Structure 1
Amino acid sequence: MSSIITGTGSYIPEEIQTNAIFLENEFYDEERLPLKDKNELIIEKFKSITGIEERRYLSSDLNNSDIACIAAQRAIKKAGIDPESIDQIILAHNFGNLVGNSKQSDMLPSIASKVKHILGISNPNCVAYDIVFGCPGWIQGMIQADQFIKTGMAQRCLVIGSETLSRIIDPHDRDSMIYADGAGACILEKGSDPEKGVLSYASQTFTYEESNYIFFGESNKSGNAAHTHYLKMHGRKIYEFALNNVPSAMKLALEKSGIHIEKVKKILIHQANEKMDEAIIKRFYRLFKSGIPHDIMPMSINKLGNSSVATVPTLLDMILNGKLDQHHINEGDAIILASVGAGMNINALVYQY
């Protein structure tokens, strides 16, 4: 038995925000002291490290559940299935519906339940639930869906990753330039060829020292919106953690699959930081004492920013629909999906077309 992707879909917000929007921001450090560099230099350094030139923000008339539903509808249409035949709706996110700029999260009912309602699915046996697993949430949803299918508990699953980070960022924290909004989805269903589909995975959680690397905190600017909390992170610690742990998780997943590294044609990594992702790839191939193939790692962060759980499924959808120049996935290709994020959580999944 296998589980195969039969349709993908995504929603990329229309509102483009270039780095220039941060020129007038007042940036402060963690000690609430003004940054010494001028904003032009801060932005230039930021771009050279992260690769981000622009990002997408969701318009105020839409919520996270709305764009999750749009991505889901596109995946359903691509798969050519009846929504009533879906057994599970698994939705990965971190902050629920953040209405406007309120910073207040609405997670009642679950975002997955909201999506099922908007889709108009009446089948009570279609179970809808959320995953809060940090940025690796969508891949974790894929892992769960694969196991439900392979144990016979489900035939067809809708897995969605959707987030609106622009509504939870501190304008006085330079890290706020990283974050973006978006949604991606896929239909995963029972297949008949055990050599195709999801082959293996690795999933890990580190909390002994790492649980607060990403956290909720007050603004970097003293007295600004007191008691309002924003998305915060210890960037250097996350960078080092990712480099030390993601390559080994990818290696573990690949070894469990039985696929030789030369058969891997694409590696889709969570779009968090261009330099970090490049370093992860180098360390991964070093573990196999192998050279890095040309165009092995597609990137979308330069134009879309970091949309958390949505980065990997939107990147996959873009490639499968020919929207990313020079990157294609063909029959017989093996790919690796990998992510790292709050928890700290890491996962990697090997899939063969």
Structure 2
Amino acid sequence: MTRYSRVIGTGGYLPSEILTNDQISETVDTSDSWIFERTGIKSRRIAAPDETAASMAEIAARQAIAMGGIDPEEIDLVIVATGTPDRVYPSTGCLLQHRLGIKHCVAFDVQAACSGAIFGLSIADQYIKTGAARKVLIVGSEICSRIVDWTDRTTCVLFGDGAGALLLGASEETGILSTHIHSAGEYEELLYCPNPQAAANGHKHEMGFINMRGNEVFKVAVNTLGRIVDETLEANALDKEAIDWLVPHQANIRIIQATAKKLKMPMEQVVVTLENQGNTSSASVLLAFNEAVRDGRIQRGQIVLLEAFGAGFTWGSALLKY
């Protein structure tokens, strides 16, 4: 019997505070038009002082569990993708496990920056296909606003906070068709966030804020995402026309448009949440997928391509039949 990983639940959470481009322009030399033309972003959500990656993850996770119609105790594995964990350790996955009241499961974090949810999805798929787990919860949860230098206009305009969740269950029906993940550590200096407390002697002292060379990141992202589209289609012997929906990482509208063009896909078939959410890093793909499932755009039986690119560099895709 062939065992598939099938999506049985989705969830998402966005903090209530909205930060607009106009508000940012009051403290940084920028404007709404400058930001929107270059990124596609109008506003983003900012976590409240008492919110954490784990608290946001719990809200998104409970939505996915409710949609799946299961008891949390049925979950065998919890994977949290985050670059902004509550603590260095224990993992945010363990904190989420406790919040959900799950006594008997494995829980851990994945750190692959903006590609984290795709990496987590790939890991979950292997666990289910091998029979090591029957139900797996994947959550991407980020509080990017706390690692952004709000005086740096090149980065502060990009990021937002939120959490997205996906619940997978073992099934005899076709579900995840394939996942593809990659890493290239030689690009470390193009996009990174320092850990000042763990810096080696001799390294320059840096605050724990996101550093990015935007133009260089853009070029590599467009090229790698173009290649992974080809890789994914080839692995499944599919033509571009077979894809019903593209759910991309929400980093920059120009990157999203370039990937859609590669697929010869109209933007009407691309799920875009960027304008009012910004880049929520590992949460963005799952937030976008959840939104399109819940508003009825993505229907059962349709073929969906998820893809992401992030610091590392990391990049990946997941092709699934919803």
1:110 aligns with one of 91, 95, 112 = 91
Does residue 67 of the first structure (1) align with residue 56 of the second (2)? yes
Give the Cα–Cα distance (whole angstroms) in 1 for the partners of residues 210 and 318 of structure 2. 27
The C-alpha deviation readout for 1:229-285, integer Å capped at 9, x for no partner, is 211111111100011111111211122123332121110110000112112222x23
Does 2:176 correspond to 1:198? yes
CA deviations on 1:36-75 (whole Å, 9 max, x unpaired) are xx533xx422210111111000111211110011111111
Match of 1:7 in 2: 9
2:90 alignment partner AA: P
User: Residue 316 of structure 1: which of 271, 289, 304 is its match?
Assistant: 289
Change (3 A) 1:70 1:60: same
In 1, are the aligned partners of 2:53 and 2:85 still within 8 Å (CA)?
yes
Counterpart residue type for residue 188 of structure 2: S
Distance in 2 separating the partners of 1:84 and 1:232: 40
SS of corresponding position for 1:135: helix
Q: Would the aligned equivalents of 2:128 and 2:134 in 1 still touch at CA under 8 Å?
A: yes
**1:270 pairs with 2:249:** yes
Report the 3-state secondary structure (helix = DSSP H, G, I; strand = E; otherwise coil) of the residue aligned with 1:230. coil
Residue number in structure 2 paired with 1:330 = 299
* Residues 156, 188 of structure 1: 8 Å contact kept: yes
TM-score scaled by length of structure 1: 0.85
Q: For residues 73-126 of structure 1, what are the alpha-carbon distances to aligned partners after superposition, in whole Å with 9 as ceiling and x for unaligned?
A: 1111110111111110000001212xxxxxxxx232110000011111122xx0
Call closer, same or farther: CA 1:130–1:217 in 2, change over 3 Å.
closer
Matched with 1:33 is none
Name the residue aligned to 2:72: 83
On the 8 A contact 1:136/1:347 being kept in 2, the answer is: yes
99, 104, 117: which one aligns with 1:138: 117
Partner residue, 2:273: 300
Within 5 A, what are the aligned runs for 1:185-224? 185-193=165-173, 196-208=174-186, 210-216=187-193
Distance 2:225 2:267 in 1: 21
Residue identity matched to 2:257:
E
> Given that residues 247 and 281 in structure 1 are in contact (C-alpha distance below 8 angstroms), is that contact kept between their aligned partners in structure 2?
no
Question: Residue in 1 aligned with 2:156?
Answer: 176
SS of residue paired to 1:154: coil
More helix by share: 2
CA distance, structure 2, for counterparts of residue 52 and residue 135 of structure 1: 17
1:61 aligns to what SS in structure 2?
A: coil
CA contact (8 A) 2:77 2:133 kept: yes
CA contact (8 A) 2:245 2:271 kept: yes
Structure 2 residue runs of 5 or longer lacking an equivalent are: 196-204
**1:294, distance to aligned residue in structure 2 (A):** 5.2
TM-score, scaled relative to structure 2: 0.92
Alignment CA distance shift 1:71-1:294 (3 Å): closer
Q: Which of 33, 43, 51 is equivalent to 1:44?
A: 33
Tell me, yes or no, if structure 1 residue 250 matches structure 2 residue 229: yes
The sequence identity of aligned pairs, in percent, is 32
Alignment counterpart, residue 214 of structure 2, candidates 226, 235, 248: 235
CA distance in 2, matches of 1:77, 1:109: 26
